[in-house]
Amino acid sequence: MYSWSISRFLYILMATCARVGCNRPRNGLHPYCGKTCANMAKQMPPRVIACCSRAGCTRPRYQENGHTFDYCGLKCRDMAKAPAQAKTCARAGCNKPCFQQGTHTFDFCGKTCASASKTSSSQASSTEIKFYYPYQPCFFLTNFEKAPIVLDGEVWDTVEHYYQAQKFGDAKLKSIIRACKTPDEARRIANESKWQHFVRADWKVVNEAVMQKAVTAKFLQHPLLLARLKGTGTHILIEASPTDYFWGCGVNGTGQNKLGQLLMELRRTL
């Protein structure tokens, strides 16, 4: 009948009042020390919950009994505290540990791999065009390029705004995403956990068609961008996103690069 452990029960008894700024002990199992703090806490504006402390995780931190933990859950906590794995040689096909000198760790295991990598990268760079970061010359190929498009009777600041909004069928949520000031904000809101139960049931089926519709509109409605796309010639276009293994190539180049493939197809047909 009772599933609480003794340690958990003692923690609750020793915990302090949940109201910010009050260090008095709680009143039994209640989260506050008394009615005064309880009423004051209800009148206070909601606090902004920080994101999980693990690098790359944007989920809110876990809260329990008025206490905010450093991570969103046990999985992120264990991943963050796990010991770092030994760095291996950056040359493809080589799994030897990187050469170390003092406290500095080099990218390669030795001079042979370093020279071979430079040769292969110079050959690859002549046939590939990578885009992702704003400082790269072909940033205009990304969905974050400020190139407004008109679709479904409305103006969207970027392709990213339109794509993220189409995940949902709710008109109000679409309007919120369309009004975002930046494409980063639009993507962040669309990926928040509290909205995931509103995502369309068929999203994984139609997402590629939605992307093709938006990217095609971008280049048809902006002739100068289309000319720049044509100017890439026969180069292989790669979205060098280190985190996206579907639309991009991922951190190690094993991603599907769906966006790059779509752009090359548009370059051929438009």
Taking alpha carbons only, the member of 81, 62, 213 closest to residue 151 is 213
Same domain? For 145 and 249 the reply is yes
pLDDT at 147 over 90: yes
Same domain? For 102 and 167 the reply is no
Domains identified in the chain, total number: 3
Give the percent of the chain with pLDDT over 70. Answer: 80
Mean pLDDT of 68-78: 78
Q: Are strands 236-239 and 128-131 parallel, antiparallel or unpaired?
A: parallel
- pLDDT band per the 50, 70, 90 thresholds, residue 76: confident
- Asked whether residue 132 is assigned to any structural domain, the reply reads no
Taking only the tens place, the pLDDT of each residue in 197-249 is 899 999 999 999 999 999 999 999 999 999 999 999 999 999 999 999 999 99
- pLDDT band per the 50, 70, 90 thresholds, residue 67: confident
- Asked whether residue 220 is assigned to any structural domain, the reply reads yes
Neighbours of 266 (CB within 10 A): 19
pLDDT at 1 over 50: no
- Asked whether residue 1 is assigned to any structural domain, the reply reads no
Of the spans 36-40, 57-61, 112-116, 190-194, which averages the highest pLDDT? 190-194
pLDDT at 158 over 80: yes
- Asked whether residue 155 is assigned to any structural domain, the reply reads yes
113-122, 164-173, 174-183, range with the lowest pLDDT = 113-122
- Asked whether residue 131 is assigned to any structural domain, the reply reads no
In this prediction, residue 12 carries a pLDDT of: 54
Which CATH number does the domain housing residue 204 bear? 1.10.357.40
**Amino acid sitting at position 17:** C
In this prediction, residue 21 carries a pLDDT of: 67
Domain boundary among 96, 126, 156: 126
Same domain? For 77 and 95 the reply is no
User: 37 vs 233, which has greater pLDDT?
Assistant: 233
- pLDDT band per the 50, 70, 90 thresholds, residue 23: confident
Structural domain containing residue 99:
85-126
CB within 8 Å of 62: residues ≥ 6 apart: 68, 69, 71, 72, 73
Same domain? For 164 and 227 the reply is yes
Same domain? For 97 and 77 the reply is no
Task: Write out the DSSP string of 95-125.
Answer: -SBPPEETTEE-SSSSHHHHHHHHHHHHHHH
Same domain? For 149 and 193 the reply is yes
Distance CA 99, CA 111 (A): 10
Buried b (16+ CB within 10 A) or exposed e, 169-188: eeeebbebbbebeebeebbe
User: 129 vs 9, which has greater pLDDT?
Assistant: 129
Same domain? For 195 and 226 the reply is yes
Same domain? For 263 and 209 the reply is yes
- Asked whether residue 102 is assigned to any structural domain, the reply reads yes
- Asked whether residue 24 is assigned to any structural domain, the reply reads yes
Same domain? For 14 and 47 the reply is yes
User: 77 vs 86, which has greater pLDDT?
Assistant: 77
- Asked whether residue 66 is assigned to any structural domain, the reply reads yes
Q: Reduced to 3 states, what is the DSSP secondary structure of residue 245? A: coil
